[in-house]
Amino acid sequence: MPFVNENPVEHSFDSTGEAYDACQTLDYIHDGDILIVPSEEVVGVLIEAWPTAVGEQRGEFHQMGEDEDWHEIPTHMADDRSTKDYGWSFQKACEALDRLLMAKADRALEIETRETSKMYRKLLDEKGL
């Protein structure tokens, strides 16, 4: 039965470099866990020892090839020719990326609304209304 991390944990970092280093040194980050870097708009999955981006932005993370399948990633163990299924982690990472991008869009809309309101108030003041 192929590997599946059914409970990937989300870990947040300040940069993809910090996330990459943490994956190499911290024992509580596991194969298949989700790595989130809001400042760079990067979300990834830890594939064995390699943080791998799920979206267009990748920062210091690796990126999957176009022909690779998240459900059948070859293991890098010397004596093992099996594959691992990261499909569940990929799905969870995509959900995290959607949340991250929606929050950014919400902030942008809030700023735009605030600026529009200021401009409208200025126009009303100029007209003495």
The band of 77, judged by pLDDT with boundaries at 50, 70 and 90, is low
pLDDT for 17-56, tens place per residue?
999 999 999 999 998 899 999 999 999 999 888 999 998 8
* Cβ–Cβ under 8 Å, residues 89 and 34: yes
Q: Provide the residue ranges of all domains of the chain, joining segments of one domain with +.
A: 10-104
Whole-number Å distance between alpha carbons of 32 and 35: 9
pTM of the predicted protein model: 0.72
Provide the mean pLDDT of the chain: 84
Q: Which helix or strand (DSSP H or E) is residue 73 part of? A: strand 73-74
